[in-house]
Amino acid sequence: MCNNIKKIIKNNDLAIIESSFLESEKELAKKYNHLTLDQAVKVAKESKVKNFVITHISQRYENKENTFLNKAKKIFNNTEEK
């Protein structure tokens, strides 16, 4: 997690944030210097961005992309997945 991320994206129209892992694998995310979905969504919401795009999802979730999108939209409705 970049220390200045919230400052950098505050009130932006769009934030594109990588989210390689679900929260259940937060130790793996930390080991490989990635964010969990919960971390990425929290940053977007707290930074008051208008739209949020999840990217860089691990291949382990292939064919389960809606899992990320549905979880994120429960917290931050203006979320897309790329």
- Over residues 8-62, the pLDDT tens digits come to 999 999 999 999 899 999 999 999 999 999 999 999 999 999 999 998 888 888 7
Reported pTM: 0.86
**Token pair of 20 as six digits:** 């390689």
Give CA 62 to chain center in angstroms.
16
pLDDT at 65: 61
Distance CA 42, CA 79 (A): 12
